[in-house]
């Protein structure tokens, strides 16, 4: 994450409009150590300036309440139009988020501001542990949800961007929904696949290799704010990238916190003298 911070600072400095978002799949699983990892990860994303984070079923492995606590603690925005309460089919989190970006250089930019609507969709099944006492959650059909919400979002925004976590076959179906300007896919998908699947004219960006790369997705716009062309860049987060000192300290803080938590767990499990 320390190297990712350096790349993001460099890239956002040269763009007229820039925003960091995540398509979902960030949770590190069950258990105290895994929850600590997730907590520090979201803290890091918040410090990196991520403004919108989509949710997938695995992200709710510790319950919706845990996600809401992370949201309050780190001041991040989680969205999901797919994850709903079974009892009333209402979304547990906001289905979408509208962000207004201001041009950094108004003299050079084609327009002063840009309103982007981010719609969060996923697929799968939410499996809550038996010890979590929360309402049962279901995952609505992402295609049906897109067909319902994209026209609504289209009326409010200059661009509609789908944040999606799920299989590629469903993405191909959602691409046919009119009004989507771009799709960011979370999961283990090859970016080469994404490039080849733009038959409908909807640009796609896919995350790669579990944090080994920073993916930069550039939409070049016309004066009417329609998409003119797309640029993708994968930047390897290797030793050639300078680590941001603030995020090096964050990693050190996590290591200390993880060690302390591990010691507490061991002391509880194996009390001294017994």
pLDDT above 60 (res 193): no
> Could you tell me if residue 127 is inside a domain?
yes
Q: The domain that contains 142 carries what CATH number? A: 3.60.21.10
Q: pTM, whole model, 2 decimals?
A: 0.89
Helical spans, DSSP H, in the chain: 2-14, 32-48, 64-74, 142-154, 168-174, 191-196, 245-269
**Please, what is the Cα angle at 217 between 214 and 221, to 5 degrees?**
160
Q: Are 27 and 59 in contact (CB under 8 A)?
A: yes
**Of 54, 59, 178, residue with least CA distance to 128:** 59
pLDDT above 60 (res 189): no
Q: Which pLDDT score, from 0 to 100, does residue 207 have?
A: 64
> Could you tell me if residue 215 is inside a domain?
yes
pLDDT above 80 (res 184): yes
> Could you tell me if residue 274 is inside a domain?
no
Instruction: State the residue range of the domain holding 228.
Output: 2-269
Number of domains in the chain: 1
């Amino acid at each position: 994450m320390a190297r990712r911070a350096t790349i993001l600072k460099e890239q956002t400095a040269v763009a007229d409009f820039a925003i960091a978002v995540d398509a979902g799949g960030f949770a590190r699983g069950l258990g105290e150590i895994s929850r600590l990892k997730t907590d520090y990860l979201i803290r890091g994303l918040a410090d990196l300036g991520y403004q919108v984070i989509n949710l997938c079923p695995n992200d709710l492995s510790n319950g919706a309440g845990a996600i809401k606590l992370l949201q309050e603690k780190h001041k991040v925005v989680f969205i999901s139009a797919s994850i709903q309460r079974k009892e009333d089919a209402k979304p547990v989190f906001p289905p979408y988020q509208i962000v207004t970006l201001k041009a950094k250089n108004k003299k050079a930019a084609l327009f002063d501001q840009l309103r982007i609507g981010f719609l969060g969709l996923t697929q799968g099944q939410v499996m809550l542990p038996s010890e979590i006492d929360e309402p049962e959650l279901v995952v609505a059909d992402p295609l049906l949800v897109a067909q319902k919400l994209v026209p609504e979002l289209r009326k409010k925004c200059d661009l509609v961007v789908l944040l999606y976590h799920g299989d590629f076959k469903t993405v191909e179906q959602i691409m046919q929904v009119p009004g989507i300007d771009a799709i960011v896919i979370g999961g283990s998908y090859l970016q080469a696949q994404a490039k080849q699947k733009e038959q409908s004219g909807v640009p796609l960006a896919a995350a790669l290799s579990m944090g080994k790369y920073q993916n930069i997705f550039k939409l070049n716009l016309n004066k009417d704010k329609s998409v003119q062309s797309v640029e993708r860049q994968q930047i390897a987060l290797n030793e050639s990238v300078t680590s941001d000192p603030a995020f090096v300290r964050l990693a050190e803080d996590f290591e200390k916190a993880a060690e302390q938590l591990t010691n507490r767990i061991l002391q509880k499990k194996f009390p001294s003298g017994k």
